[in-house]
Structure 1
């Protein structure tokens, strides 16, 4: 996928940062930007090995420059959550090997602006089980 718009490049940058962060935390990468028709997109699909049932972790990556209108997490509205859940259902139909996995919806968020040539990487906030299927 060719990323031309600045927002696309920025989104890809933070998704890649989140992927590397989660891998460093022990998760295994499976897919990035998984699309299903006009239904929606899953930013990251990760696998978390557990002692019992392995877990499929659907990760929404968010970034906000300023928090005057709320945090990154605040931007994941109930409508956005429903869209992610529906897209996850389509993902599971396309990947039946995950039928017996537990499923968790996480958010990795970044707050603030990344300055050019900044020596320190932005710090992610990882919220496990940020929302669920009601």
Structure 2
């Protein structure tokens, strides 16, 4: 819920579209390219992970990439959706420049969150949800 205020402000400012659905631009049995149509990131990310899970069930792997999206929240949430299906899940995104590199003068790097979730033995699991930098 800590991002709710940001999402509401993005909608009010017209940054994010409120109507519409993500659209598959291109796909094959195991992969897809999705146009998020500038919708809220969680809408696009849920669509993509659900599609990836369906493809993984049918083809053994599902790899879905999106463009035209916005802030998608917690990367681990989407990876854990695959985990609930006893699959390995991965979720990645890029961000705007937020980090000044070593010896740098201005922000040029994103935090670029990534998450991996994998089932383990005896009901255990592994989940990594991290960013590639600290702000």
TM norm structure 2: 0.31
Which structure: larger Rg?
2
TM-score normalised over the length of structure 1 = 0.31
Larger strand percent: 1
Higher RCO, Cα 8 Å, sep 6+: 1
